[in-house]
Amino acid sequence: MQISIKSEADIKKMRVAGRLAAEVLDMIEEHVVVGVSTNELNRICHDYIVNVQKTIPAPLNYGSATEMYPNGFPKSICTSINNVICHGIPSDKKLKNGDAINIDITVIKDGWHGDTSRMFTVGKIPGRTQKLIDVTKECMEIGIRMVAPGVYLGDIGFAIAKHANSHNFSVVREFCGHGIGQVFHEAPQVLHYGRKGTGVKLKEGMTFTIEPMINIGKPGVKILKDGWTAVTKDKSLSAQWEHTMVVTKTGVEVFTVSDKYKFDY
């Protein structure tokens, strides 16, 4: 697959889309509390995306039909709680004390995508949960800080997995980061494991996400009957963080930042 190189004008639009996606996460933070349902979080985000930002929630109706959801993904955001790795579908389920939840937002602004997710915690969480969340964020940041022209995606995947494994956590292999632009998921695939010196060699103007999913237990994945929800096979806790970025002349620029959540290069 051809990897598209974005122009300065394209990058300008992706910068806007990225910031808008990050601002949805800023907005929703205060609503992530004991007793709120993920449907309610979905509704608040959807209304903000559509009515305030005048952007489009990319997940809604995205992807191929499944038996249960013939129009693709049925909601506007992904909400993945505890042992859910990714693509959790908002429902009537209410958040409870000690939960860890990933909220994944993708908006389309003027035809360009911004894709970002963060972990949020509910009430008082166990120390082990916080450790997984912190290490997963470090995995994403380590990967992002390596991005520059001439670097191999295999180098980045290797470094991410090395950090996760050094804490005895495991890297999910079935899902990965992805090229992004006018298309939600495009080339290249950005694996969160790899071998040094292998895979795509980065060039200025490539845009993609880094979004490691890290498990406390084993890396195995199971997809629920709804066709979307990915859970850990061993029911262990999973965490994920995601940013959208571009390879610059000298390094990287993260698009999915806001005044409240800047990227520390």
Helices (H) and strands (E) in the chain, counts: 4, 15
The least CB distance from residue 72 to ligand MF3, in Å, is 7
CB of 80 to Co ion, least distance (A): 10
Q: Is 222 helix (H, G, I), strand (E, B) or coil?
A: strand
User: Nearest residue by C-beta to ligand MF3?
Assistant: 59
- 3-class SS shares of the chain: helix, strand, coil, % to 5: 30, 25, 45
- Residue nearer to Co ion on the CB measure, 1 or 249: 1
Contact indicator for 222, 177 with CB cutoff of 8 Å = no
- Residues 192, 171: contact at Cβ < 8 Å? yes
Choose between 186 and 242: whose C-beta lies nearer to Co ion. 242
Site for ligand MF3 in 85-124 (CB under 6 A): 87, 104, 106, 115
Q: Which is nearer to ligand MF3, 9 or 261 (CB)?
A: 261
| String of contacts with ligand MF3 for each residue 131-170, x by CB under 6 A | ----------------------------------------
Q: Are 72 and 63 in contact (CB under 8 A)?
A: yes
On the CB side of 82, CA atoms within 13 Å amount to 14
Contact flag: residue 172 with ligand MF3 (CB under 6 A):
no
When the beta carbons of 38 and 209 are compared against Co ion, the nearer one is: 209
| Contact of residue 87 among ligand MF3, Co ion, none (CB under 5-8 Å per partner type) | ligand MF3
Beta bridge partners of 80: 102
Q: How many CB atoms lie under 10 A from the CB of residue 152? A: 18
Within 164-228, strands assigned E span: 170-171, 177-179, 186-190, 207-210, 213-215, 221-223
Residue 10 interacts with which of ligand MF3, Co ion, none, CB < 5 to 8 Å by class: none
Q: Which is nearer to Co ion, 135 or 176 (CB)?
A: 176
Chain positions contacting Co ion, by CB under 5 A:
104, 115, 209, 242
Least Cβ distance, residue 177 to ligand MF3 (angstroms): 8
- Smallest distance, Co ion to C-beta of residue 18, A: 12
3-state secondary structure of 33: coil
What is the footprint of ligand MF3 within residues 193-222 (CB under 6 A)? 211
The rounded distance, in Å, linking the Cα atoms of 182 and 54 is: 17
**Which entry of ligand MF3, Co ion, none binds 69, CB below 5 to 8 A by partner kind?**
none
**Window 54-83: residues binding ligand MF3 (CB under 6 A):** 59, 62-63, 73, 78
The sign one gets for the Cα dihedral 68, 78, 229, 179 is positive
Answer whether 203's CB lies under 8 Å from 5's CB.
yes
Residues that bind ligand MF3 (CB under 6 A): 59, 62-63, 73, 78, 87, 104, 106, 115, 211, 228, 242
